[in-house]
Amino acid sequence: MDVGNRYAFFEGEIVPIAQAKVSVMAQALNYGTGCFEGIRAYWNEQRQQMTIFQLRPHMERLLRSCKILHISLPYSADDLCQIATDLLRKEDFRANCYIRPLAFKSAPAIACRLNDIADSFAIFALPFGAYLDSSGGAKVCVSSWRRIDDNIIPARAKVTGGYINAALIKTDALLAGFDEAIVLSEDGHVSEGSAENIFLLRDGQLVTPPITGNILEGVTRRVVMQLAKDELGLETVERQIDRTELYIADEIFFCGTGVELQPVVSVDHRPVGNGKVGRVAGTLVERYASVVRGQDERYLEWCTFV
């Protein structure tokens, strides 16, 4: 299937995408022993320039995930940023795109362990549009699946095998007619979406689950907390959130690199607020869209220009 990309960084160099192949016996394919990142880049037609958003924080998180999985890469965060930038320059996209770095156990080993298994690294990128097609706000459900626990599969690491949890959550929601799902932790508190962090507005206070709540320590989550403070004067409270708070929240929205900022307008067939996109979420969606494209000089340090 032609998805619009031509190259990948693989085995130490940028090669045609058709040459970036792994064996069916690769341990990562058989056991899910890898970690990855998702990074967005935005094309500015007026400036004829590509902007990668929060590139270094993503690469730093990738290296932390590698540490958890006993994966050793011969690259620093700066090296990884340079490789990603070189790849985008080689691809020469003229549209928004998505960058996927992937570190994985590549040896053809039937061995369910992490030590003494060869590591490999790759990056590819492809044109990428909206993650959720719900411009008027998403209609979501609370999933019957629970979020993986940090002592089972580390939720703060983007582990490839762990995303079967997200796939089960999202699939059930879609088959039931919803756009997305909210998942609870094993103790019954709100954790996140299938692959997004979550925020609630209650009585003028912005709240989000803590990083100890079996969530991914989101790069976009930190951005949203900063923008809410700077643009709206809202400090974010990190605390446990009960399921029923979803039903009485004034606003709810998801955030993440893929989903960007996505307002939620109903949960389990109950309208959120008045059932329309709220003021806080709407403002943050607008500001975020400007910031990620390098159009706000106050946040240019978050952007890497290709």
pLDDT digits (tens, 9 = 90+) for 94-125: 999 999 999 999 999 899 999 999 999 999 99
Q: Which CATH architecture has domain 7-127?
A: 2-Layer Sandwich (3.30)
What letter does residue 147 receive in the DSSP assignment? P
Report the share of the chain in percent with pLDDT over 70: 99
Contacts 24+ apart (CB under 8 A), 85-88: 85/52, 85/55, 85/304, 85/306, 86/9, 86/14, 87/7, 87/8, 87/9, 87/14, 87/123, 87/124, 87/125, 88/41, 88/50, 88/52, 88/125, 88/306
Mean pLDDT of 58-84: 98
Both structure tokens of 157: 């690491």
**Which pLDDT value is given to residue 66?**
98
**CATH 3.30.470.10 segments of the chain:** 7-127
- In the predicted model, is pLDDT for residue 296 greater than 80? yes
158 is catalytic: yes
Mean pLDDT of 21-46: 95
- In the predicted model, is pLDDT for residue 129 greater than 90? no
- In the predicted model, is pLDDT for residue 144 greater than 90? yes
**CATH 3.20.10.10 segments of the chain:** 138-292
- In the predicted model, is pLDDT for residue 223 greater than 80? yes
pTM to 2 decimal places:
0.95
Q: Which of 158, 170, 229, 276 is catalytic?
A: 158
Question: Are the beta carbons of 298 and 46 closer than 8 angstroms?
Answer: no
**Which pLDDT value is given to residue 1?**
52
Single-letter code of the amino acid located at 136: G
Report the share of the chain in percent with pLDDT over 90: 93
Mean pLDDT of 139-164: 95
- In the predicted model, is pLDDT for residue 135 greater than 90? no
Both structure tokens of 76: 């620093």
Q: Quick one: 138-292 is in which CATH superfamily?
A: D-amino Acid Aminotransferase, subunit A, domain 2 (3.20.10.10)
**Which pLDDT value is given to residue 134?**
67
